Amino acid sequence: MKKSTPTPHDAVFRQLLSQPDVARDFMEIHLPPQLLALCDLSTLRLASGSFVEDDLRPYFSDVLYSMKTRGGGDGYVQVLIEHQSTPDKQMAFRLLRYAVAAMKRHLDAGHKTLPLVIPVLFYAGQRSPYPWSTCWLDGFADPALAAVLYGKAFPLVDVTVIPDDEIVQHRRMAALTLLQKHIRQRDLAEIMDLLVAAWQADKSSSQTPSLVNYIIQAGETTDASAFVQELAQRMPQQEVPLMTIAEQLKQEGELKGKLEGKLEVARSLLKMQLPRDTILQATGLTEEELDRLGDQ
Residue 267: burial class (beta carbons within 10 Å; 0-12, 13-18, 19+): middle
pLDDT of residue 104: 95
pLDDT of residue 145: 97
Answer left, alpha or beta for residue 146, where phi above 0 means left and psi between -120 and 50 means alpha. alpha
pLDDT of residue 248: 63
Point out which residues pair with 60 in neighbouring strands: 82
Cβ atoms of 164 and 180 within 8 Å: the answer is no
Give the least confident one: 30-34, 158-162, 177-181, 221-225.
Answer: 221-225
Rounded mean pLDDT, 109-126: 93
pLDDT of residue 233: 79
Rounded mean pLDDT, 187-203: 83
Confidence of residue 110 (pLDDT cuts 50, 70, 90): very high
Write down the pTM of the prediction. Answer: 0.72
pLDDT tens by residue, 128-144: 899 999 999 999 999 99
Strand order in the sheet with 74-82: 39-47, 60-69, 74-82, 116-123
Sorted by sequence, the CB contacts under 8 Å of residue 122 that are 6+ apart come out as 13, 79, 80, 81, 82
pLDDT tens by residue, 210-255: 887 787 777 777 676 677 778 777 877 665 566 666 566 555 554 5
Cβ atoms of 6 and 58 within 8 Å: the answer is yes
pLDDT of residue 4: 41
pLDDT of residue 181: 93
Residue 201 scores a pLDDT above 90: no
